[in-house]
Amino acid sequence: MWLIFNVLLQKELISPSEPLKDNNSLMKITLPIILTILIQSVILTSCKDEDSSVNPKFLVSENYVPAPEDDPDGSLSVSVFLSAVSDKTVSVDYVTADSTAIAGKDYVAITSGKLTFQPGELAKEINFKVLPDTAVKKDVYFSIKFNNPVNGTLSKPGITIRIINVDFTNLAWTEDFTTMALNTTIWNYEQGAGGWGNNELQTYTNLPDNVHLDSGYLHITALKTTGTNYTSGRINTQGRKQFTYGRIDIRAKLPEGKGIWPALWMLGSGFPTQGWPACGEIDMMELLGHEPSVAHGAVHWNSNGHKSRTNSFTLSNDKFSSGFHIFSFTWTPNKLIWMVDKQQYFFLTRAEMPDFPFDLPQFLICNVAVGGNWPGSPDGTTVFPQHMIVDYIRIYQ
């Protein structure tokens, strides 16, 4: 429309072929230009106003929301966002719907809920409650369904809530090391020297002298080669076997001696991009060879810098090198528990760990280091070779 009006103004006020003779002629050109700019401005502004009134979408951050059945009081929430600020009041109704979870048994039903976003608001929360349950069962699900959106549009029909079973009695994965050689579809060999961030002395290899299977057992062996040179083994399941939540049992016999540092541990799958400690580290078992009766458990994470929590378990009148012991770690969304031979010695809650990174998958690592900042270097009392022997690894979920 403004193009037609512009043409009419130009045609009416001045002919393009007419020469400029005085200021009046200049005004005859300037006036239509000014009017044209004003008209364009009004119409463009109107278009922008129309664009800003487009209804925002309702968004949720996850496809499903984990709801652990061991939450202290069962009260949980999920966030709902708007895709853009609106100058109108935006609302949506919601109700819960059973799937494998049953209202009244597994969670409290919501029969009439409503989220109302006042102009300028972008986020709201839906509160729901999971009921305590001592029955042994698999994870169960229910959904929160959206309906009747006002001044907003639905990006999805609802949210799935996963009630996480924390009894962990289902054997989800096992490694019994019964094959002839290490299964490289599951395990990676880590190789090289360089201190490994702790001034360690060994070079990790993929040689049978350092890592091999024998009669259903994994052997990781630390060797002294020449002078102050050492080799050993380190294997992991990065990119091949990762898991979130559950109980892991590892039956193992540990090495001993000054400067010997065996470990059964995990790193977050985000390690390549997030780095350490932001990815989160869980140490199920670490041992300093000069303290062969003491097993350590620890976590490392980032919260405005490196944070860690540690504890230890001491055998009475025995050494971890004398026989096999079961090192267990239980991991839920709300707590971490360490045990040796079914005896709990370390317990942490989510509330004790700000910026808790342990809701994401972790991968397994088994290694025997030699030397380093924590254990110190081997000395004349250290006997080589030293072996960590692993009978099995079992993950229950």
CA quadruple 71, 72, 73, 78: dihedral, nearest 10: -40
Q: Name the DSSP class of 270.
A: T
Placement of tokens 């991968």 in the chain: 363
Say how far apart CA 131 and CA 151 lie, in whole Å.
Answer: 34
Q: How many helices (H) and strands (E) does the chain have?
A: 3, 27
Cis peptide preceding 72, ω within 30 of 0: no
Please confirm, yes or no, whether 281 is among the known catalytic residues: yes
List the catalytic residue out of 12, 62, 286, 291. Answer: 286
CB 220 within 8 A of CB 207: no
List the catalytic residue out of 121, 281, 291, 352. Answer: 281
- Joined tokens for residue 388: 């960590």
Please give the C-alpha separations between residue 32 and each of 5, 17, 25, 143, in angstroms, as whole numbers.
10, 16, 12, 62
The three-point CA angle 350-353-356 to 5° equals 75
Q: Which residues are catalytic?
A: 281, 286
